[in-house]
Chains A and B, each alone.
Chain A
Amino acid sequence: MALLQISEPGQTTAPHQHKLAIGIDLGTTNSLVASLRSGLAETIADENGQHLLPSVVQFQGKNETGYQTEVGYAAQQNASNDPMNTIASVKRYMGRGLDDIKKHSIYDFVIEEDSVVPRIRTVAGNVSAVEVSSEILKALKQRSEEALGGDLTGAVITVPAYFDDAQRQATKDAAKLAGLNVLRLINEPTAAAVAYGLDTGSEGIHVIYDLGGGTFDISILKLTKGIFEVLSTAGDSALGGDDLDHIITDWILDEAEINEPAPSLLRQILDVARQAKETLSEQTSCKLSVDLGEGKYWDSELSQQQFEKLIKPLIRKTLVPCRRALRDAGIENDEVQDVVMVGGSTRVPLVRQMVGEFFSTEPLIELDPDKVVAIGAARQADVLVGNKSDEDMLLLDVTPLSLGLETMGGLAEKVIHRNTTIPVARAQDFTTFKDGQTAMAIHVVQGERELISDCRSLARFELRGIPPMVAGAARIRVTFQIDADGLLSVSAREETSGVESSIQVKPSYGLSDGEIETMLKDSFSYAQDDIDARNLREKQVEASRVIEALNAAMDEDGEKLLSQEEQTQIRQAIDELAEISKGSDQRAIKLKIEAVDKVTAEFAQRRMDASINKALAGQSVDDID
């Protein structure tokens, strides 16, 4: 007998047609999967009752069906014996190039021929981050199919808000490889907010405070008309719950007067420290006992008060990014409506207290902070497969940085501005710069700055086969399209001839959150410089366009229509303009262009007359009309 779930009114599906959807929190340290059953979103446990799946994959070999792997706790246990084949924290490598990775990795990375993707050398062959990640997703997929009793319709996977196109695409590729249909990628802080039902609540500012095992992230979200906009993100990629354990460990080493402990002893103390942290989140004191070997034990007690004194500086450290995120978002502390607590370390009462005081609001802690992101993703997945009635809206997301292309003079022309809700398609018309130009290079960039050199290059492609026309006559429509997962495709079409070209943006290098933050900040602090730079480049481009056009006109009609003296005068003016436009005085260029305009006004008039005469020659007045 099949096991049934309670549906929403009128949403009962036919037998064997259940729309099963899951939400996946694909974390750096641990991953989770959740689903809605009878309207209740819960994480799914494995056969041992474990909800968390450590994001660790051990590669053991390869056969015709794929890699032979251990995933999760089993892999974690083998990590110390088989470190080079056991990959942890693969999320840090998703969508990254070799240079980004090498700095902080123990693994043996190689780049194979015909590829730009770095791979890790293992006994099962060279594996990419996407492949490693897909093994984690496969394990979660299998667990959910067993638990839900059928094939999955689709999944929502969460990614950090600062993940760029490359990192999002890599995550999507991993899901595809695992045989998952990705309904949508959503931002982790957005998922946390959805888990608390904030998406259907009042509009306003919501803060997501995420203190995970090894990383700290703060996100400021703004909810308007059901859309979460990420106003700012900040964090510390090397600060997390593990640091709390280390502080207690150091304290124990100090108190027990242990110098240079053996690795096994250190591991034992670390375990004692972690347990103490968990105990002290609920009790006012905790007994500690360390087995020093040879029948000797060190016994002591740690009070909650002492514990809090130890960890206070660390928690205060998390408030620095909080302040920065608020400042970047232009938000005052008292404008914050809710603070959602995410990550196991937010169970520590002092964390809740200090965060609550900082934002002057009681943090939301009703949901398990380890599971809140997966639960939000599951709720979103349930809506997306259509298990809810129409009144439940779809959640939309926004682009974190503007997208655009390079125009003459190395300027960035933004086509889709930052914080535009996605999915979105925007088109803009461009034209040729030179007479008879038959091809156009399209350079897609991401960033807020005005000059290409300050933005990040995403892709380049060419539109060929433009019919030869005078400069400015061709109409080239460039369309930028971002799908619901935040992935970009760009197409260009010459309207008169219909020639087309397009590209799917799949860059090989990613930006870190720090880099995105820097790019955003730069765009504010360099705003004036950028405007000046843009004005100058625009004037320079205009000058070279004028020179180009005048030279063409002179070659064609100069001899015919102008006296020797006039010709010399114009040539001289052109040379002067060319000289001045090399400089950086945009005002001088502007004045010179105006001067050239004046000098050549007569010439332009005569050309006009000449062409009219030519057109009218041999025709009677009756024919014109």
Chain B
Amino acid sequence: MAITLTASAAEHVTRFIENRGKGEALRLGVKTNGCSGMGYVLEFADKVEDDDNVFEDKGVKIIVDPKSLIYIDGTELDYGKEGLNEGFKFNNPNVKDACGCGESFNV
């Protein structure tokens, strides 16, 4: 399996990294907190750790630490709008249930 991005997500990530002016990759991961178990990590990455998994899709380099990968393998990162709000979405096949807003989840 792997981590992928939609075209819209890839376009936005590329733009944000370009604007930031440093770092080449996007780090995806999970953190154990939140109202329903786990929360997502979505960060700019300035360096790749030795045991990180590196994926590449639509010109975007994505890194995931091995522990997180178990929870999010197969995820497709999307970018969407809801009213005035816009941002990234994790389409994660591993999720069994999520809190009402989907910001934290269980596998």
Contact = CB atoms under 8 A, between A and B. Distances in A.
A5 B19 contact: no
Interface string A9-44: 111101110000000000000000000011110001
B41 interface: yes
Nearest to A8: B44
Interface size class of B (residues with CB under 8 A): 35 or more
B94 to A, nearest CB: 14
Nearest to B41: A12
Contact of A14 (B26, B34, B80): B34
A189 to B, nearest CB: 23
Given A1-B89, A6-B13, A16 B44 contact: no
Nearest to B40: A4
B41 A40 contact: no
B42 A15 contact: no
Which 4 residue pairs across A and B have the least CB separation, nearest first?
A: A3-B87, A15-B34, A1-B102, A15-B103
Contacts of A143: 84
A4 to B, nearest CB: 5
Given A6-B16, A10-B43, A16-B101, 15 more contacts: A1-B89, A1-B90, A1-B101, A2-B101, A3-B88, A9-B45, A12-B31, A14-B31, A15-B35, A15-B103, A16-B34, A38-B16, A39-B16, A40-B19, A148-B85
A39 B19 contact: yes
B67 interface: no
B50 interface: no
Q: Which of A11, A15, A37, A45 has the most CB of B within 10 A?
A: A15
Contacts of B101: 1-2, 15-16
Q: Which of B33, B34, B99, B103 has the most CB of A within 10 A?
A: B103
Nearest to A143: B84
Contacts of B27: 9
B44 A146 contact: no
A147 B85 contact: yes
Interface size class of A (residues with CB under 8 A): 20 to 34
Interface string B9-49: 00011011001100100110001011100011111111000
B43 A2 contact: no
Nearest to A42: B19
A146 B83 contact: yes
A504 interface: no
B51 interface: no
B87 to A, nearest CB: 3
A7 interface: yes
Contact of B42 (A4, A44, A146, A147): A4
B20 A15 contact: no
B98 to A, nearest CB: 8
A467 interface: no
A47 B16 contact: no
Interface string A42-61: 00111100000000000000
B75 interface: no
Contacts of A47: 83-84
A14 B46 CA distance: 21
Contacts of A16: 34-35, 101, 103
Interface of B: 12-13, 15-16, 19-20, 23, 26-27, 31, 33-35, 39-46, 80, 82-90, 98-99, 101-104
A6 B88 contact: yes
Contacts of A14: 31, 33-34, 39
B99 A15 contact: yes
Nearest to B82: A3
Nearest to B77: A4
A9 B103 CA distance: 19
B85 A15 contact: no
Nearest to A44: B84
A149 interface: yes
Given A15-B34, A147-B85, A2 B42 contact: no
B61 to A, nearest CB: 13
B31 A45 contact: no
Contacts of B88: 3-6, 38
Contact of A146 (B31, B34, B85, B89): B85
Contacts of A15: 33-35, 39, 99, 101, 103-104
A30 to B, nearest CB: 19
B41 to A, nearest CB: 5
B19 A11 contact: no
15 contacts: A1-B98, A2-B103, A5-B42, A5-B88, A6-B16, A8-B44, A10-B43, A11-B43, A12-B39, A12-B43, A16-B34, A39-B20, A39-B44, A47-B84, A147-B86
B59 to A, nearest CB: 16
A1 B81 CA distance: 11
Nearest to A45: B84
Nearest to B26: A6
Nearest to A14: B33
B62 to A, nearest CB: 12
Contacts of B16: 6, 38-40
Nearest to A46: B84
Contacts of A12: 31, 39-43
A14 B27 CA distance: 16
B2 to A, nearest CB: 20
A538 B103 CA distance: 69
Nearest to A148: B85
Q: Which of A7, A11, A38 has the most CB of B within 10 A?
A: A38
B81 to A, nearest CB: 8
A203 B50 CA distance: 39
Contacts of B85: 3, 146-149
